[in-house]
Amino acid sequence: EQITTIIKSSEFNNTNLLDEDFTGTTTVAALQSLTITPGADVTDSLNVANQGFTAKVTDAIDTSIASQTDAEAMVGKLDDVIKDVNTSLSDMGAASRKIEGQLSFTSKLSDVVETGIGNLVDADLAKESAKLQALQVQQQLGVQALSIANQAPQTILSLFR
């Protein structure tokens, strides 16, 4: 009964991967492959399916213990359930490691993209800054050229005085 209670209460976010009688989500697509090709379909995913412990545990505990033979049969069934649980736990652990690996990859990819965008923005700012400085220099040269051109007639007029 305690095992059944644990299985029934192992719900999170309307998902229960242990109870096949659960009415919410019993399969989770936890991981999808990253395809960087535009327009490509993302079809690969890591599906974590319901482990169906309710039926296994129910089969094990439906045995009545009226004799030593019945008790030994129940112990055998419980041993089988324990083996099934261990197998399911290893499957779920492998899926968890895959998810952690994908999270790490996604985080690093995000960092690289952010760094690349930052470098592009910095490069654009440097380019625009260089253009601005070039325009300012051209403007100063134009003002100096006009100043020099305006001084020449004044010099000639000063000779006539």
What is the total residue count of the chain?
Answer: 161
Asked if residue 71 belongs to a domain, the reply is: yes
CA distance 119 to 116: 5
Asked if residue 8 belongs to a domain, the reply is: yes
What pLDDT score was predicted for residue 34? 43
Domain of residue 24, residue span? 2-120
Evaluate if residue 139 carries a pLDDT over 90: yes
Asked if residue 10 belongs to a domain, the reply is: yes
Closest CA to 15 of 3, 7, 6, 23: 23
20-31 pLDDT per residue, tens:
888 877 666 654
**Count: domains in the chain:** 1
What pLDDT score was predicted for residue 126? 77
How many secondary structure helices (H) and strands (E) does the chain include? Answer: 3, 2
Asked if residue 12 belongs to a domain, the reply is: yes
82-134 pLDDT per residue, tens:
898 888 888 888 878 888 888 888 888 888 888 888 877 777 777 888 889 99
Say how far residue 76 (Cα) sits from the centre of its chain. 43
Give the pTM. 0.51
Asked if residue 131 belongs to a domain, the reply is: no
Residue found under tokens 């482990």: 51
Confirm if 4 and 54 have CB atoms less than 8 A apart: yes
